[in-house]
Amino acid sequence: MISVVFIGFGNVNSHLFHAFLKADTVQIVQVFNRSKVDTSELFGIPFTSDFAEIKEADVYIIGTSDTAIAEVSDFLPFDNRLVVHTSGGVEMEKLNSKNRRGVFYPLQTFSKNKAVDFEQIPICIEAENDADGKLLQNLAKKISKVVHLINSAERAKIHVAAVFVNNFVNYMYLAGKEILDENKLPFDILRPLIQETAQKIETLTPFDAQTGPAKRHDQNTIEKHLSLLNNPNHRHLYEVITEMIRKKFE
């Protein structure tokens, strides 16, 4: 049995909370959050918003915003316990060194009110010492089949790559919707294409999956498309990305 206390109850920690709640050999001791949490969400797990009342546990999981992680770790009124954060973009060393430090980073995008299946979510583990690394791996394996030991430098690179395939991809969806909205066409018409574009990546490399006028150097279509784009942002994006794809497939 591994016991955990959640420090902060935002998006990541509340999803982790639900995943651990289902795991037989994990005991959630307590949830701490600065502001009150709807207790109906806590399924009887004790809650506090007072740092002095935080209970003893094997692992403390800080799930605050990136900028609050260091400060919250300073406020913890104990030492030599295992304290981890869940962020892709923050070095382990930002945690106060009075405790044993680690990272428990689930590589996924979490939305409120949308359950995710943790079993396939990669969990990136880092720890200052081997025993803690093993404990965190065991904890991760209770909810996921995909557990990686990843140091802070590697995690930072993964986090940048994640920005491309998540945030920037979503912005392409947003641009696509804007183009259709402008012309009073329904965004729904693109949904199957969006799903298949992601699905293809399950079996093809992105290089092999690339298609389109830029890849086949179809200058007629490229110019026609540019003439159809009224929004300067869309036109600029089209030019920049088309040129990169063209060069990649020269």
Q: Which of residues 13-42 bind a copy of itself (CB under 8 A)?
A: none
Q: Quick check: 233 binds a copy of itself (CB under 8 A)? A: yes
Query: Could you tell me how many residues of this chain bind a copy of itself (CB under 8 A)?
Result: 88
Q: Quick check: 206 binds a copy of itself (CB under 8 A)? A: yes
Q: Which residues contact 162 (CB under 8 A, 6 or more apart)?
A: 88, 107
Task: Output 79 or 154, the one with its CB closest to a copy of itself.
Answer: 154
Give the C-alpha separation, 64 to 33, whole Å.
9
- Name residues contacting a copy of itself, limited to 110-169 (CB under 8 A): 111, 114, 116, 120-122, 124, 146, 148, 154, 156-169
Task: Output 49 or 195, the one with its CB closest to a copy of itself.
Answer: 195
Instruction: Please state the closest distance from residue 217 (CB atom) to a copy of itself, in A.
Output: 12
Q: Quick check: 250 binds a copy of itself (CB under 8 A)? A: no
Task: Output 39 or 120, the one with its CB closest to a copy of itself.
Answer: 120
Closest residue by Cα to residue 59 from 122, 110, 104, 91: 104
Q: Quick check: 192 binds a copy of itself (CB under 8 A)? A: yes
Give the C-alpha separation, 48 to 29, whole Å.
11
Give the C-alpha separation, 140 to 148, whole Å.
9
Give the C-alpha separation, 136 to 197, whole Å.
34
Instruction: Please state the closest distance from residue 86 (CB atom) to a copy of itself, in A.
Output: 15
Closest residue by Cα to residue 83 from 73, 68, 70: 73
Choice from 94, 98, 142, 200 touching a copy of itself (CB under 8 A): 200
Give the C-alpha separation, 94 to 71, whole Å.
9
Give the C-alpha separation, 23 to 79, whole Å.
27
Give the C-alpha separation, 165 to 157, whole Å.
13
Choice from 71, 173, 217, 223 touching a copy of itself (CB under 8 A): 173
Task: Output 44 or 206, the one with its CB closest to a copy of itself.
Answer: 206
Choice from 55, 211, 217, 223 touching a copy of itself (CB under 8 A): 211
